[in-house]
Amino acid sequence: MSEQTPNAEPLPIWFFVGLILLVYGLIVLIGGLLPQDRPTVLMELRPALWWGGLMMLTGAAFFGGSLALRRKRG
């Protein structure tokens, strides 16, 4: 059994939001790199790569920001 110190603060919700966005962004990005069976409208723009990258950047910002804020408070 682990004991928490009285001043231990739980992780902020933005830590988990950032983690989820990072993981989902990676999944979308990898899906965008795989070859497609059927052509779609505007396929040449590769929207999965753009959205996956955007999700990963946003997730990294939330994840890193929550860790920095926690380190600053602690």
| Residue 6: band (very low, low, confident or very high) from pLDDT cuts 50, 70, 90 | low
- As a residue count, the chain comes to 74
| Domains of the chain, residue spans | 13-33+44-73
Task: Give tens-digit pLDDT for 7-44.
Answer: 677 888 999 999 999 999 999 999 999 998 888 888 89
Tokens of residue 57, six digits:
């950047």
Instruction: Report CA Rg, the chain.
Output: 18
| Residue 53: band (very low, low, confident or very high) from pLDDT cuts 50, 70, 90 | very high
DSSP, collapsed to helix, strand or coil, labels residue 2 as coil
